[in-house]
Amino acid sequence: MRRSVIPGFGLSFGITLFYLGAIVLLPLCALILKASDVGLAQLWTILSSPRTLSAIRVTVTMALAATAFNAIYGLLLAWVLARYEFPGKRVLDALVDVPFALPTAVAGLALTALFSKKGWLGAPLDALGIQVAYAPLGIAIAMAFTSIPFVVRTVQPVIEDLGSDVEEAGRSLGANDLQILWRVIFPAIFPAFLAGCSLSFARSLGEFGAVIFIAGNQPMKTEIVALLTYIRLEEYNYQAAAAIAVAMLAMAFAMLIVTNAVQAWNLRYLGRGDA
């Protein structure tokens, strides 16, 4: 440690380590310990059971669908907030924070009522033969709602910082709007866009509250991994609960590594842009 004239390292470091140790690390270690008790063969049996596999498939597919929707809507929102002036812009900017501020249970309740067969949006969709609530599509909607701010808030500052010079250079070289958008603007915001999408995907994989209201939760059809963990726990099947929870933890770590790599690339990219 570099000698510092500022005192208080011991105390603040102690508080930090105690909180992280007791609140965050202790339970995670206990979970991993419990899962290691299960044994590799048994772990594999639990994770490769049809019901677990189906839950994983539903969760990953719907998280991908939610992320795809957020990629488009999030990009448009970020673009509009960064480049246009219009009445109600401040309100729209504040509205983007709603999914983070609104508890997931409230979001789930509202989305279920909105998309149920008698709901404001569910009724017209039902007339078209599209079922959202109590169907896989509902899971994707709930995941998209709870994670939309990630894409917007990651991309928005990058679009705001885009200089006019590169666009003008493109224009003076004879490029049209689409060419500038595709060849100049999109490459510049791509790392941030990818970072936002991976954050959105990671959040969708672990979402619970909003999804269980709207999903209908039928085993093998609309049951997500997080709910299956919860169900195993309620059945006092601690082995299975530990096994699935550890698999989710592993998935979260994998996503953390991907997201960090993308973000490091993003920051490097930004650094180069400013140089």
* Residues between 137 and 176 that touch another protein (CB under 8 A): 144-145, 148-150, 153-154, 156-157, 160-165, 167-168, 171
Question: Does the protein bind another protein through residue 9 (CB under 8 A)?
Answer: yes
Least distance (Å) between residue 67 CB and another protein: 15
Map the footprint of another protein across residues 112-131, applying CB under 8 A.
Answer: 113-114, 119-121
97 vs 87: CA distance, rounded Å: 18
224 vs 139: CA distance, rounded Å: 9
Cα–Cα nearest to 274, from 172, 163, 192, 156: 163
Provide DSSP, 11-65. HHHHHHHHHIIIIIIHHHHHHHHHHHHH-HHHHHHHHTSHHHHHHHHHHHHHHHH
> With 0-12 CB in 10 A as exposed, 13-18 as middle and 19+ as buried, what is 22?
exposed
Map the footprint of another protein across residues 40-69, applying CB under 8 A.
Answer: none
Using CB under 8 A, which of 54, 216, 233, 265 touches another protein? Answer: 233
Identify which of residues 183 and 221 has a Cβ nearer to another protein in the complex: 183
Count residues contacting another protein (CB under 8 A)? 107
Question: Does the protein bind another protein through residue 110 (CB under 8 A)?
Answer: yes
Using CB under 8 A, which of 77, 132, 135, 140 touches another protein? Answer: 77
Least distance (Å) between residue 85 CB and another protein: 10
Other Cβ atoms closer than 10 A to 37: 12
Using CB under 8 A, which of 57, 83, 117, 268 touches another protein? Answer: 83
